[in-house]
Amino acid sequence: MTLRAGRYITFRIARLDFAIPADCVRRIYPIQERDLVRIPIIDLRAKLGLPHASQGRETYVIAVEVEERVVGFIVDRLCGVVKARERDFNLGKLCVSGRPREVLDPKRLIP
pLDDT in tens, 53-69: 655 567 899 999 998 89
38 contact partners, CB below 8 Å, separation of at least 6? none
pLDDT exceeds 70 at position 97: yes
- What pLDDT, on the 0 to 100 scale, is given for residue 101? 94
Q: What percent of the chain has pLDDT over 70?
A: 90
Handedness of CA 68, 73, 78, 79 (dihedral sign): negative
Judge whether 13 and 50 are in contact, CB under 8 Å. Answer: yes
Tens-digit pLDDT profile for residues 66-95 = 988 999 999 999 999 999 999 999 888 999
Whether residue 37 is predicted with pLDDT greater than 70 in this model: the reply is: no
Q: What CATH number belongs to 6-109? A: 2.40.50
